[in-house]
């Protein structure tokens, strides 16, 4: 099992990340990925993301280990950007490689639900000149919660 976790200001290339994940695991048959983008509209000018250096990486590593225990996986990559991002820019990337697709899809969704609800990131929105911290959403909590019952 390969695990890559990066918290970074820089953008990433999805093709390169998938290649890095699958090149060393010839048994991989399926790669499920997720790319989160800054959604335009509603006058949004930019998002600024902050994290807790050290704890964030550690928490994501723990979640990745948990996923690897639940499903038969060959690799996981998680990239989360921080800093100021404008509409259309990539924020988050999760790729899960496995022999079969069902495992790859489930683990990818599981990791995203946890990143959204448990990993220490905070988001600030700029609309026009005004800047405001984003409040946590209950729908995201519900998405993460469903994995407990399994």
Partner 1 sequence: MNVLYFAWVKQKVGRGEEIVEHAPALRTVGDLAAMLAQRGGGYAEAFGDMTRLRVAVNQAHAGMDTVLAPGDEVAFFPPVTGG
| 88 to 3, 43, 57: CA distances (angstroms) | 27, 13, 25
Q: Collapsing DSSP states into helix, strand and coil, what is residue 36?
A: strand
Residue 118: burial class (beta carbons within 10 Å; 0-12, 13-18, 19+): middle
Which of residues 1, 8, 39, 86 is near a copy of itself by CB under 8 A? 39
Nearer Cβ to partner 1 (13/39)? 39
Length of the chain: 150
**Interface pick for a copy of itself out of 1, 8, 9, 35 (rule CB under 8 A):** 35
The answer to whether residue 137 forms part of the interface with a copy of itself (CB under 8 A) is no
Residues that bind a copy of itself in the complex, under the rule CB under 8 A:
13-16, 18, 22-23, 26-41, 87-88, 99, 101-102, 104-105, 108-109, 112, 143
């Amino acid at each position: 099992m390969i695990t890559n976790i990066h918290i970074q200001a820089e953008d990433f290339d999805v093709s390169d990340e998938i290649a890095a994940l699958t090149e060393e695991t010839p048994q991989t048959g399926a790669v499920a990925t997720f790319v989160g983008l800054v959604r335009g509209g509603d006058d949004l000018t930019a998002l600024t993301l902050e994290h807790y250096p050290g704890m964030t990486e550690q928490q994501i590593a723990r979640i990745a280990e948990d996923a690897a225990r639940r499903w038969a996986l060959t690799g996981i990559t998680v990239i989360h950007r921080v800093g100021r991002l404008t509409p259309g820019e990539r924020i988050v990337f999760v790729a899960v490689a496995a022999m079969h697709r069902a495992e790859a899809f489930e683990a990818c969704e599981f990791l995203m639900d946890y990143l959204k609800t448990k990993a220490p990131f905070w988001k600030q929105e700029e609309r026009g000149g005004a800047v405001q911290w984003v409040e946590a959403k209950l729908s995201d909590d519900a998405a993460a919660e469903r994995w407990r019952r399994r």
